[in-house]
Amino acid sequence: MKGITTGQIKMNIAVLSGKGGTGKTMVSVNLARITVPSVYVDCDVEEPNGHLYFKPEDVVCEEVSVLVPKSDPDKCNGCRECVRFCRFNALVFSLDRLTVFNDMCHSCGGCSVICPQEAITEYPRTIGHLELGRSGDVYVRTGIMNIGEVAGSPIISRLLDVNTSPKKGITFIDCPPGSSCMVMESIKDADFCLLVTEPTIFGTHNLKMVVELVTEFDKPFGVILNKTVEGEADPSEEYCLENHIPIIGRIPFDRELSNLSSEAKIASEESVRFENLFQSILDNISEMV
């Protein structure tokens, strides 16, 4: 599709990997930088780090909260309908009162609906926040989960919904590692999934898991082989070739690239060599969507 590299169309590209440390953020940041105007969304809410590269300005914060139940002890008659209803076992009735395990609650609201005494009401509980800013023509959105929280999906959902985007341009969704609910939340509106992997057994193993995931979601996808070494066996490459999975790009195991990344510099901004490399990856994607 023409226009992908010139900001003429609007689409979502999710970058995911299964294994952590394969280069999701490095790829997302570089692609977002060379396709302005663009949006970079850091869905790795447990440890977001894309903002370190972009150093966004004019940052606006927005709290994210979820609804959790509380019970009015004067109305509750201890029937335990709510305890039986909760499939996540977030509720316990003991010593004549209801206890809520907030971190296990999925905010379905069912307990408040089912309570025959109308004793249960919901109230918002803050679990994290968003930071929305800009770095030149890249709109940078970061989700940050509070320490001690376990469920980041509501933050990701809000992060993808919030509208700070330009009218046109590509949104790059930097997903959390793994293939959990948080990754599913991150890719659900993606038009294309970019799978970043590395030439290790572990990298290949988790690549297979995300291939299964994106296949289940019926998403078009392709693979970037990162940290490749000329002439050395690459189990991820073998896996892609065997399974006819398109390889969209190869990023070499490169001292300069890792030095730039470790200094939180965006390689495609610093060197024409890397700008060309990421441009070719974009060109390959544009042929697939």
Partner 1 sequence: MKIIVPVSDNTDDSNVDPSLSRAPYYMVYDSETGASESISNSAKDSPSGAGVKAAQTIVDAGAEVLLTVRCGDRAYNVLNGAGIKIMSASPGKAKDNIDAYLKGNLSELDTIHEGHHHGAN
- What residues line the site for partner 1 (CB under 8 A)? 83, 86, 88-95, 99, 101, 103-104, 150-153, 180-182
Exposure string for 230-241, b = 16+ CB within 10 A, e = fewer: eeeebbbbebbe
For partner 1, the closer of residues 78 and 124 by Cβ is 78
Q: How far is the CB of 19 from partner 1 (least distance, A)?
A: 18
Tokens of 50: 């894309």
In the complex, least distance from residue 82 CB atom to partner 1, rounded to whole angstroms: 12
Nearer to partner 1, 56 or 176 (CB): 176
Q: How far is the CB of 199 from partner 1 (least distance, A)?
A: 29
Task: Residue 43: name the closest of 131, 145, 206, 175 by CA.
Answer: 175
Task: State the minimum distance, in angstroms, from the CB of residue 12 to partner 1.
Answer: 21
Nearest approach, Cβ of 164 to partner 1 (angstroms)?
25
CB of 232 to partner 1, least distance (A): 36
Task: Give the dihedral sign, CA 267/21/282/188.
Answer: negative
Q: Is 259 left (phi over 0), alpha (psi -120 to 50) or beta?
A: alpha
Identify which of residues 23 and 152 has a Cβ nearer to partner 1 in the complex: 152
Residues near 231 by beta carbon (within 8 Å), at least 6 away in sequence: none
Closest distance of CB 40 from partner 1, Å: 23
Q: Which is nearer to partner 1, 89 or 163 (CB)?
A: 89
What whole-number distance in Å separates Cα of residue 80 and Cα of residue 82?
5
> Which residue matches tokens 């940041």?
29
| CA angle (217, 139, 5) in 5-degree steps | 70
Pairing of strands 57-71, 120-135: antiparallel
By beta-carbon proximity to partner 1, the closer residue of 94 and 262 is 94
Judging by DSSP bridges, how do beta strands 221-228 and 192-197 pair with one another?
parallel
CB nearer to partner 1: pick between 27 and 82: 82
CA 22 to chain centre: 14
Cα–Cα dist 27/22, whole Å: 10
C-beta of 31 vs 151, nearer to partner 1: 151
